[in-house]
Amino acid sequence: MSATSDYGANWGEAPESFLVLGLAHCFEKDDNGKLVDRFVIEPISANSLECMATGAKTCFKEVKSVTFGDAMARDRSVLPEEWASASFCDEYDFRCGACARTWSRPHAQDNLMDIVPLGRTKNNFNYNLDEKRVLNFENVVNDDDNIKQDISIDVYGRAEKEEGADAESEAPAAKEEEEELDSLLAA
């Protein structure tokens, strides 16, 4: 069985299914290393919107509920005017399908649909940019990132190896000192 490029393309969600889109305030590093504002349109899952509604910090300035069909068509006419200059997020279609599925679950249907009723916009969330989302951030990992564990919880036998290495490095020095003493006594 081989992987295909259309994995997840057929979600089976009806075009009239409920979906929430958000306008995220993100950042990108330019060539000089400075952060530049970027606004991105992203689908929001039911559990993410539930967290936002309870007061969690978010970078979403505003959210809008739409139908799955409108979202997949990238129909900007159903979105607020302020969103006109925003770009759609990476893997937008895939993420729309995944988020639409979360909205079709019983908990979301029974408890969360009234947070942002279909066709409505909401912006009174805990909008906060203390922790900036950088879109083109590259995490380069190197050996300096490793944390040396305390020797008391050593499970790799490092203490024994270090003792052996110390003994080996001390042996030539001890032999040299012994030879010096022998030469002094012989003289």
CB atoms within 10 A of CB 50: 17
d(CA 44, CA 23): 10
pLDDT band, very low/low/confident/very high, at 156 (cuts 50, 70, 90): low
What predicted TM-score, i.e. pTM, was given to this entire model? 0.69
Residue 185 has pLDDT above 80, yes or no: no
pLDDT for residue 59 is more than 60? yes
43 touches 94 (CB < 8 A): no
| Confidence grade of residue 6 (pLDDT, cut at 50, 70, 90) | low
Per-residue pLDDT for 166 more than 90? no
**What is the four-CA torsion angle of 122, 125, 131, 136, rounded to 10 degrees?**
-10
Whether pLDDT at 2 is above 80:
no
pLDDT tens figures, 61-92: 999 999 999 999 998 999 999 999 999 999 99
**Measured CA distances, 36 to 33, 71, 132 (Å):** 9, 26, 11
Contact present, 38 and 85 (Cβ < 8 Å): no
